[in-house]
């Protein structure tokens, strides 16, 4: 599934998007390449991951319980 979403992100990058953020897929992933960002947020039940945009940078973080 991740590979399919990455291919989708590549088409969006070609259309001019700089950032593609996806949810619902449970594997947290953050890829930064050639000034483009692809992020799968992960989940809140097992990985406790979330994205944060700060000072123009997207981070993939884990909530500490």
| Boundaries of every domain in the chain | 2-62
Residue by residue, DSSP assigns 4-40 as: HHHHHHHHHHHTT-SEEEE-S-SS-EEEEETTEEEEE
Q: What is the pLDDT of residue 1?
A: 67
Mean of the pLDDT values across residues 30-44? 94
pTM: 0.86
Sequence-ordered list of residues with C-beta below 8 angstroms from that of 32, at least 6 positions apart, any chain:
none
Res 11 pLDDT > 90: yes
Mean of the pLDDT values across residues 43-60? 93
Q: What is the mean pLDDT of the chain?
A: 93
Q: How confident is the model at residue 44 (pLDDT cuts 50, 70, 90)?
A: confident
């Amino acid at each position: 599934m991740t590979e399919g979403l990455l291919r989708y992100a590549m088409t969006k990058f070609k259309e001019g998007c700089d950032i593609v953020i996806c949810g619902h897929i449970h594997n947290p992933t953050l890829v930064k390449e050639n000034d483009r960002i692809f992020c799968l947020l992960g989940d809140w039940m097992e990985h406790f991951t979330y994205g944060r945009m700060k000072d123009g940078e997207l981070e993939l973080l884990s909530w500490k319980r």
